[in-house]
Chain A
Amino acid sequence: MVKQAAAGRPNHLFRNLNSKIASIPMILVASVIFLGGTLWTVIYSFTNSRLLPRLNFVGLDQYERLWASSRWIISIQNLAIYGILSLIFSLVIGFVLAALMDQKIRFENTFRTIFLYPFALSFIVTGLVWQWVLNPEFGIQSVVRSLGWTGFSFDPLYDPDIVIYGILIAALWQGTGLVMCLMLAGLRGIDEDIWKAARVDGIPMWKTYLLIVIPMMRPVFITTLVIIASGIVKVYDLVVAQTSGGPGNASEVPAKYVYDYMFQAQNLGQGFAASTMMLLTVAIIIVPWAYLEFGGRKRG
């Protein structure tokens, strides 16, 4: 007992002290910025802050105004169309490309380099290139017309009805390479013996993919889905570069709405309300996923 006292257990707070000191930035970012900042924004979305944030609560006023704004409605519609289509197309294209790449092809590295390089580029660069390629006077439309199809019309960037598809094309060009890479990693993670077994059993390749491989890749699909989805909600730079939200406000998206109200229209309350709606959207995607992924694991 005397010896025990001599050893002297250090104070609980100071045990592992260096680790705690080293983690201060992480703790601050997690608690102050991520948690605190989010709460702050949500709280201030119930105020009538304009140029400066002020705690003058007005209930759900900002939200009522938000949902009454045609620009917001268009933003949400665009996000829905863009979101659903880019999810479907990037998953399908990404998976098909990955499956093709997985056929022990030659020049695999070359193909992968080609499919993935757009992902290294910024959304600004992507948006500007496609703005040029889709330019009605010089781009694809004029080229096809000059080949003889004079009636050909493909002018997404200046047609409010289809402008969002023009952005979708650019986004798919930029992002499917990543999806392909993830899918390919998933395919490579599948036991070789599965393929051997399917071949011995005489199951056609497409059926093996559909009935065996894809179900086995469920985790990869889900993570990919979450990654794409959270990227979709954030989409901002691409629209700014490609259309600046135009023509009119036909290609507005929520992230741009938030930015414009916060930093240009000096209507902070609106910006906060809109960003809170964005948060809600992400929560709808993330919470079920997190529950499935982590909640289930703990119990199991």
Chain B
Amino acid sequence: MANISTLNTTVAGIDAVSSRLASGPRGRKPRRVLSRRNVMLYGTLIVAALYYLLPLYVMVVTSLKGMPEIRLGNIFSPPLEITFEPWVKAWAEACTGLNCDGLSRGFWNSVRILVPSVVVSIAVASVSGYALANWRFKGAELFFSILIVGAFIPYQVMIYPIVIVLREMGIYGTLTGLVVVHTIFGMPILTLLFRNYFASLPVELFKAARIDGAGFWQIYFRIMLPMSLPIFVVAMILQVTGIWNDFLFGVVFTRPDTYPMTVQLNNIVNSVQGVKEYNVNMAATLLTGAVPLIVYFISGRLFVRGIAAGAVKG
């Protein structure tokens, strides 16, 4: 094309402007898909992605192998013979130092801990955040500041006083006690989250509702709550993963028969008794990680928003 048109212009002697238009770079600049930049960029990303995926892959393949195969092969090779027995064993039969009914006990304990903890902690924190955002009173900001600073205090500093308080209340070692602990330690981040969210809602809505005669609870339940579903979902994601993954509070504030799943898992895998069954261990690990992973994969962007909201503003 270019050649012909150049030829035409020289032959026909059309003026310089149109000849310049005809020849030379025109339209979209051609780009190679495999440019050096792209190779470097995607190469690095893919290598990094492999690193991040590797442990998950190892967990899955190990949990599907039999013990003889594990002893012979390497941990990266895919299973020659897929078996689900380790999963069954991890769920129902694996032994901790104390009992041999597998992770199922820990799973149900965790569920029993999770549901009330998530509900109570979010309920308490959302109301506190709402009070802070819309009904500020003298001193409120001071307590809130203490709360936020407290979020950075190592748990170890406050654990023993809490043990004493719970013991005095007669709920140390009970489910109620652990719910209280999760509510306490979830409070800084959740209160901050809700306070910032409610403060970001147009204040005129709040004013309009007050002129309409609605009070503290009426505005909370009838105006604010229906508008705040996304932030409640974010808070739920934060709490479900956080509480499910908790280990320290589980160890300190529950008794062996009510240990949450993470504690149960650690006791199974790091139990010194018996022969190490790596496939069962990995199945158990996957089972424990499954709940937050499912939450993560389902919630996607909201999860990111949740941690970012929690983290950046914290």
Contact = CB atoms under 8 A, between A and B. Distances in A.
Are A and B associated in one complex? Answer: yes
Interface of A: 15-16, 18-20, 22-23, 25-27, 29-38, 40-41, 44, 53, 96-97, 100-101, 103, 105, 109, 111-125, 128-133, 135, 138-139, 142-143, 146, 173, 177-178, 181-182, 185, 220, 223-224, 226-227, 230, 233-234, 236-237, 240-241, 244, 255, 258-259, 262-263, 268, 271-272, 274-276, 278-279, 282, 285-286, 290
B285 A30 contact: no
Contact of A34 (B55, B153, B191, B311): B153
Given A146-B74, A223-B312, A279-B154, A262 B241 contact: no
Contacts of A143: 74-76
B175 interface: no
Contacts of B49: 111, 114-115
Contact of B262 (A26, A124, A131, A138): A124
Given A117-B56, A120-B293, A122-B288, A282 B154 contact: yes
A241 B270 contact: yes
Contacts of A268: 160
B271 to A, nearest CB: 11
B157 A16 contact: no
B58 A133 contact: yes
Given A34-B147, A120-B292, A25 B187 contact: yes
Contacts of B293: 117, 120-121
A282 B128 contact: no
Given A125-B265, A138-B70, A130 B55 contact: yes
14 contacts: A31-B146, A33-B161, A44-B160, A109-B300, A119-B307, A122-B244, A129-B58, A133-B75, A146-B74, A223-B312, A237-B248, A240-B266, A241-B247, A255-B156
Nearest to B123: A25
A26 B157 contact: no
A31 to B, nearest CB: 7
A132 B70 CA distance: 12
Given A120-B241, A120-B296, A258 B75 contact: no
A240 B269 CA distance: 11
B143 A31 contact: yes
Interface stretch (B8-16, B23-31, B37-45, B228-236): B37-45
Given A29-B184, A34-B149, 18 more contacts: A18-B215, A23-B128, A29-B150, A31-B143, A31-B146, A41-B160, A112-B304, A113-B297, A115-B52, A120-B303, A124-B262, A124-B266, A132-B62, A223-B314, A230-B152, A234-B154, A278-B154, A278-B156
A139 B75 contact: yes
Interface string B284-310: 010011001101110010011001100
B155 interface: yes
B131 to A, nearest CB: 4
Contacts of A113: 297, 300
A113 B304 CA distance: 9
Contacts of B55: 118, 129-130, 133, 173
A226 B150 CA distance: 14
Interface string B163-183: 011000000000000000001
A34 B185 CA distance: 10
A234 B156 CA distance: 8
Interface of B: 41-42, 44-45, 48-49, 51-56, 58-59, 62, 70-71, 74-76, 124, 127-128, 130-132, 135-137, 140, 143-144, 146-147, 149-162, 164-165, 183-184, 187, 191, 215-217, 241, 244-248, 251-252, 262, 265-266, 269-270, 278, 281-282, 285, 288-289, 292-293, 295-297, 300, 303-304, 307-308, 311-312, 314
A117 B120 CA distance: 27
B265 A244 contact: no
Contacts of B162: 33, 37
B128 A181 contact: no
A177 B244 contact: no
Contacts of B184: 29, 33
Given A26-B191, A114-B52, A185 B312 contact: yes
Contact of A138 (B150, B278, B288): B278
Nearest to A226: B152
A106 B199 CA distance: 36
A117 B245 CA distance: 14
Interface-centre pick from B146, B152, B307, B311 (highest chain A CB count, 10 A)? B152
B157 A41 contact: yes
A18 B216 CA distance: 6
